[in-house]
Structure 1
Amino acid sequence: MMQYMLMIHEDESVYAGPEGEKLLAETLAAHMALGEAMVAAGVSFSGERLKPASTATTIRWNMGEHQIHDGAFSESHEELGGFYIIDVANLDEALAWARRIPIPKGALEIRPVWPMSEPEA
């Protein structure tokens, strides 16, 4: 088995206003249903929702020097909104679960977890 992190990058602006609040409620319900499906399938997982990007703090390094910035400063219009860590047999299975994650507008990054006890690849 291998752990994969499924990072949800989404456009937070779709959740603004009354229609956005409705979309958020629907999206959260879909995440709960996905969690129930993973439990039913015997997939070991964890995950959390993150507070809005406006609450983030970023440390940016440049050759040993660093600066601290208020906010999420990624090079995109999407913010990291949450994540799942799942324990599955392979990338194909991770992708199958990732395709079921409800994201109204955004992207999903799937990356293997590199255990601290494992030597460099």
Structure 2
Amino acid sequence: MTKYLVLIAGTADEWNNAEPSDRERWHQDHVTFGREVGAAILAGEALDGASTATTVRRRTGTVEMTDGPFAETAEQISGFYLIEAANLDQVVKWCTLLPEIYSLEIRPCVQIEGMDG
């Protein structure tokens, strides 16, 4: 089994300007996703807005912190799921249950020797 990180991206305007019925439908899509994927979901969270982000960089021994996301993009990461699955095809199938407003980036996790988890 492989762990996959599913990054959920979208625009704040799309969510903020949506009708309540659309928001409820998207919420129900997440409920359906959770029911279908079940115990294969190892973790998942919604994230606060990009304006609350802190970017940390360490350069030549100096730690720099700045407010906001590192990259200026139209779409911003708004949540994630960590899923364990036999293969990418299974993850893609499950991801079709999530709301159509998202862009989803799926990445397999790499096991690093000496790091548990």
If the length of structure 1 is used for normalisation, what is the TM-score? 0.77
Mapped to 2, the partners of 1:118 and 1:109 lie a distance apart of 27
Cα deviation, residue 97, structure 1:
1.5
Mapped to 2, the partners of 1:80 and 1:31 lie a distance apart of 16
Report if the CA contact (8 A) 1:5-1:86 is conserved.
yes
2:95 counterpart residue number: 98
Cα deviation, residue 108, structure 1:
1.0
What runs of 5+ residues in structure 1 fail to find an aligned partner? none
1:29 counterpart residue number: 28
Report if the CA contact (8 A) 2:40-2:84 is conserved.
yes
Runs of 4+ in 1 over 6 A off after TM superposition: none
Mapped to 2, the partners of 1:63 and 1:97 lie a distance apart of 43
SS in 1 for 2:37: helix
SS in 1 for 2:25: helix
Mapped to 2, the partners of 1:21 and 1:55 lie a distance apart of 24
Cα deviation, residue 72, structure 1:
1.8
Change (3 A) 1:65 1:24: farther
* 2:74 aligned with 1:80: no
What runs of 5+ residues in structure 2 fail to find an aligned partner? none
Change (3 A) 1:77 1:66: farther
Q: How many residues align?
A: 114
Cα deviation, residue 84, structure 1:
0.8
Q: What is the CA RMSD across the aligned residues, in angstroms?
A: 2.3
1:3 counterpart residue number: 3
If the length of structure 2 is used for normalisation, what is the TM-score? 0.80
Cα deviation, residue 73, structure 1:
2.8
Per-residue CA deviation, residues 16-51 of structure 1 (Å, 9 max, x unaligned), is 24x344433321221011101112xxx511211111
Report if the CA contact (8 A) 2:29-2:97 is conserved.
no
**Matches for 1:16-55 after TM superposition, within 5 Å:** 16-17=16-17, 19-39=18-38, 43-45=39-41, 46-55=43-52
SS in 1 for 2:98: coil
Percent of aligned pairs with the same amino acid: 32
